[in-house]
Chain A
Amino acid sequence: MAIVNLQNVTYQYPLTDVPALQSINLQVEEGEFVAVIGPNGAGKSTLCYTLAGFAPHFFKGELTGTVEVAGNESQNSTLSEWVLNVGLAFQNPFNQISGAKYTVFEELAFGLENIGIPRQEMKTRVQDAMKLTGISDLADRSPYSLSGGQQQRVALTSILVMQPKVLVLDEPTSQMDPIGTREVFGVIHGMAERGMTVILAEHKVEWIAQFADRVIALKDGKILLDGTPAEVLTSPLLHENGFGISRYTSAARQARETGLWRKQELPVTLEQAVEGFSSTFAKGEEQG
């Protein structure tokens, strides 16, 4: 049974003319790692907000259809109940930090205080989560004295401590350098391996190809493609619709025209590209 179930969901922000999401049908199984891609303005963040209950509970506006997580309906719940179902790490960590706490440790305990977790358990959960995301050394720093990449990690950790049933991440590495990106994808991958359901809005297709079970391509508030990373990330529809694609896919597609890429499927990752081009090369030698 699907843990996330969106039936015919259309959502429109207040004071806008066009719905940001249109007739979305989406079922996500427990433990699935789903990546959501799309150009800016496609509705990725709105989908994240809808899953997390912010739309419509916080942003108001009009939502039709049903948003169901673990058998509960978002429309029948309050936001404070809903946070136990779905945890959302914002794209911009500055918008997420409470502003009410002096240290990272207190910031991470903030959500737990609000749901009445006993003090000792709170401490353990904060410490464990910090270890998981590699920020234990930031415990006593002010959340505002951190770099963008560090704040993003604090924002992610503050969601993990809540132990939600579904983890929703909106471009969690947008402020990070390549090493930070690699580390955060390592953390997310680890969460998925432990059976956490993860929904990730992200531009970085090479990482998605390596870790996600499934990819959804959004365009103008609608689902354009829904399938495995190999199917979706190499679809010719992506480039035509302004999605970013891997350089490996693009180079192999052009090489195919001159017979220098002979495999049926196009590559998304370095390893797939190396393998495919090497096989072209090996066959060439046999023929010669």
Chain B
Amino acid sequence: MTSRRVFLKGSALAMFGVGSIPAWLSRSVYAADADKRRKKIMVAIFQRGAVDGLNMVVPFGEQRYYDLRPSIAIPKPDGSANSAVDLDGFFGLHRSLAPLKPLYDAQHLAIVDAVGSPDPTRSHFDAQDYMESGTPGRKATSDGWLNRALVKGTGTVSPVRAISLGSNLPRTLRGRNDAVAMNNLNDFQVRDAKSSATFESMYDSSLDTVLHGTGKETFSAVKIMQSVQKQSYTPANGAKYPNGRFGQSLLQIARLVKADVGLEVAFADIGGWDTHVNEVGAQPTLGQLANNLSDFGQALAAFYQDLGDLMADVTVVTMSEFGRTARENGNRGTDHGHANAMFVMGGDVRGGKVYGDWPGLGEGQLYENRDLQLTTDFRDVLGEVVAKHLGNANLSAVFPGYENPKFRGLIG
């Protein structure tokens, strides 16, 4: 596994064959800064379906956790494969997330606990909507926070500055700035070049208000992707991405980061967390949640390893719409709850620490007598990354109605 890395700014450019990219695409075209500093990149990951935060980041130091979950709790760390991975003597990682432990130890991975959206809804769809728009409780917001987080460019901005992996553009990337959805980098083209040109001119001249804009964005992005498609890709440093859709999404993002095409924000999601029934298998460390977390953890670890020194410019943040009930339900599962946990990973992250105020799971400490209380607003975490990593200080525009996010000191 990786050990703590030394991040050398700029060294990555030499390592990854940037020379094969056309000169007009080189970063200087996009870099607003005179010193040609690389653009910072933020990757947002959504765990759709509400992951069970209490089994993902296990508060094994609190006995009450075991009282509330007699058949699904993750046992206290004892070094065995059936127990949690100790982080700080109180919290532990689910065993399936063991690949993330070295990142935590290298202080490039931070965890925020008891975090989430203050809106009380337990509807997946509303809660995802709020977390993607960045305006809990406000349905009329028509664009997403990740789109608004893009820094206003002074010069040329790249048509692929905002990318989502998948065949649909998520709510969080919709909005005024161009954003592109792609399933697979290699398929991102019209198969025959002549027809491509004709379609381009059709969509370009179309008066259709919806299709014109998207068409235009699409063809600008296609041109850039063509240069990336020409090069084959092998993950660096022996990184192995899992085969599932999520692992492949992160691989493509890594590929775009290395190709230096002007990427600023990227989005990927991973589903299957809605574990009402049989959340755990024969052992609490096996089963549905364990399998999904293993995919999740391996993919994040591979991304980190693959990017190597380039992680200096990249911050990854994970989120899920809400947590799950502190008590297990009657089907070895959990129902919709409230607060959850988020991971923040990157070169400028002050990792190796679980942030947030732990509200406890005791009588009277639970939200509505059933869920983990919220002590950190998710916008505090996202806001800090947007402001201090991406460099967009105008947070009142990114998270309207949330004027004073409280930074936790995650980045620095």
Q: Say if A and B assemble together.
A: no
Measuring CB to CB, which residues of chain A are less than 8 angstroms from any residue of chain B? none
Measuring CB to CB, which residues of chain B are less than 8 angstroms from any residue of chain A? none
